[in-house]
Amino acid sequence: MAYAHLRLEIRGRVAHLTLARPERGNALVLEMAEELSDAVGRLGDDSAVGAVLLAGEGPNFCLGGDVKTFATHGERVPEYLRPLATALHVAVSRLTRLDVPVVAAVQGAAAGAGMSLACGADFVIAADTARFTMAYTKIGLSPDGGSSYFLPRIVGMRRTIELMVTNRVLAAEEAREWGIVTRVVAAADLVREAQALAESLASGATIALRAAKRLVREGWNESLETQLEQETREIVDASRSADAHEGITAFVERRPPRFRGE
The catalytic site residues sit at: 89, 144
**CB-based contacts of 62: which residues, under 8 Å, 6+ apart?**
19, 25, 26, 27, 28, 56, 109, 110, 111, 112, 113, 114, 117
> Any bridge partners for residue 11, and if so which?
14
Q: Residue 36: how many CA atoms within 13 Å on its side-chain side?
A: 34
3-state DSSP assignment of residue 257:
coil
3-state DSSP assignment of residue 12:
coil
3-state DSSP assignment of residue 50:
coil
**CB-based contacts of 115: which residues, under 8 Å, 6+ apart?**
64, 132, 133, 134, 135, 145, 147
DSSP state of 1: -
Helix (H) or strand (E) holding 103: strand 102-106
Pick the closest to residue 36 from 69, 77, 7, 79 (CA basis): 7
